[in-house]
Chain A
Amino acid sequence: MTEQKNHPAPAISVRALGKSYGDKPVLRDVSMDVDEGAVTVIVGRSGSGKSTLLRCLNGLESIESGSVVLRGEPIGYKLTNRLHQLPSREMSQQRQKFGFVFQNFNLFSNMTAIENVMLGPLRVARRPKDVARREAVELLRRVGLGDRCEAYPARLSGGQQQRVAIARALAMKPSVLLMDEPTSALDPEMVAEVESVIKSVIGDGMTTVVVTHHIGFAADIATHVVYMDDGRIVEQGTPEAVFSSPESERTRQFLSAVKPN
């Protein structure tokens, strides 16, 4: 390890991460750091492996080679005298440290908005019911849905569902928030409401990794941008560096293809 005393240790560090589905590689030699409090945005074409990378960070997907480390703690593995996979109980505990927001919201359809938000605190963190409820109401109010606590997901619009999902992800008091294309499944008129909620959440200094197609939004919130293509990180750096003066030809092509202006 190189000594960089002036640079604080990253929240997450990914080293030489590799993964394949069958014989099709989806991640090849991916290395990146996510700094504490930073907003890292991963962009790239569909199928470039960016969602898989995100899901490897909290162990929703297992990794095949390389490593993911959260604040000194290897994800999915344990290093005692030799390296071995974590038992599923400990993996579940690790996942509690991450909030995850899905592209398709994935709210529990048999539970009301507040039940969705309370489930983790109640059953996983085992907080008392009145505390869990109070916190859930507070979170739903924060995402602008204080009046929709008792609504079932089917009665909510896509934008509202995604906001409940964000509240649910925050309910476990995670130290890292992961979002997988949080606005891609939304009708255009609902994108803005979800984006503004995301911005307010990020504004609190939460370490965040977002996968998105929306370059404008990415440029707006990112402190660090990662561009992926074909399972590799092609380019990463500040948003200005990647979006304004990309080094690689592929990045340039991608940006010109998706840029609205």
Chain B
Amino acid sequence: MTMTKKLDMSMTKKSTRPPTGDPFDAATAARRPQIRTWIAVVVVLILLAQAAKFVATNPAFAWPVVLEYFTSVYVLQGLAATLQLTVICMALGILGGIGLAAMRLSDSKPLVWFSSTVVWVLRSVPLLVQLIFWYNLAALLPQISIGIPFGPVFSSWDTNDLITPLVAAIVGLAMHEMAYMAEIIRAGVLAVPDGQIEAARSIGMRRYQLFLRVILPQAARVSVPPTGSQVISMLKATSLVSVIAMRELLYSVQETYNQTFQVIPLLTVAVLWYLIVTSLLAVGQIYLERRLGRGYGKQGGSNETASTDSPQLDLKITDRLS
């Protein structure tokens, strides 16, 4: 008992006692020395130094080789293909996801079943398997035709001509993405308060209008953070299409090191590019979140001074989001 008291006394030595009356003033409290923090800092610094030394001095990294190939045409072409794939498949995935989410949330039972089944299948089959499957579609379906079901055929193509590695890659990645985006968008839609929908109905908006104009913009705000992760996942997932001989970043690097045998330096080139693009995406996400967050919380919108009497309800929402 006396020990603790002594300790407390020694720790608060620097603090000045409040004059009279008030029991104490929290502002005068002494900072407790955080020894644990300093130990953690030292440990982390040692580990970092070790890692830096390993990366800098290990000859296997062959930094001159990394530098040489980092901006080589072949690698940059691969990078461009990776970025194109990411953008195209993500766009298709989001559009498809919106469609699937809308079906899932509709009143129509058949649409709900259709959407649930599609999402179930696409999420259950590994992406790599899907890619190989689409690439080999010709084995299942030698001809692809456009016409009336069970009726006349207007036009027909050889599946092998149609499904190039690029097409297989786009179809596989987009279909896979669509299933995940459907769930992310559905979650966003469910987060929109019913009152917003009722208000839209009360001014005579049609269902599609209120979905596009009122629900989606608000759902987007909730959906952006998980969609950001999806974009990064997609960027990395494009590396899988190297197995169907689609020339993207990883495939370009592999082709190069198959000739030069400089495996680690060339993989390092790919890693650095993935890191750079991911970082840029993260910055983009911050801006997008800010844009969609207008009207919500402190950074919400206009330059004018906040009214002093902001309602409690909105403050609560802000607290939850910040």
Contacts and interface: CB of A to CB of B under 8 A. Distances in A.
A168 B250 CA distance: 55
Interface stretch (B42-50, B148-156, B196-204): B196-204
Interface stretch (A37-45, A67-75, A101-109): A101-109
Interface string B168-180: 0000000000000
Interface stretch (A20-28, A87-95, A206-214): A87-95
Interface string B281-322: 000000000001011110011101011011100100110000
Interface in A78-122: 88-89, 92-96, 98-100, 102, 104, 106-112, 119-120
B91 interface: no
A183 interface: no
B188 to A, nearest CB: 12
B217 interface: yes
Contacts of A112: 295, 301-302
Contacts of B297: 154
Nearest to A186: B311
Given A102-B195, A109-B295, A157 B307 contact: yes
B218 to A, nearest CB: 5
A110 B295 contact: yes
Interface residues of B, number: 36
A109 B306 CA distance: 16
A92 B201 CA distance: 7
B224 interface: no
A100 to B, nearest CB: 4
A154 B321 CA distance: 14
Nearest to B303: A150
Contacts of B109: none
B247 interface: no
B213 interface: yes
A151 interface: yes
The 9 closest A-B pairs by CB, nearest first: A96-B204, A152-B295, A120-B203, A100-B202, A106-B195, A106-B199, A157-B309, A154-B314, A95-B204
Interface of B: 193, 195-196, 198-207, 209, 213-214, 217-218, 221, 292, 294-297, 300-302, 304, 306-307, 309-311, 314, 317-318
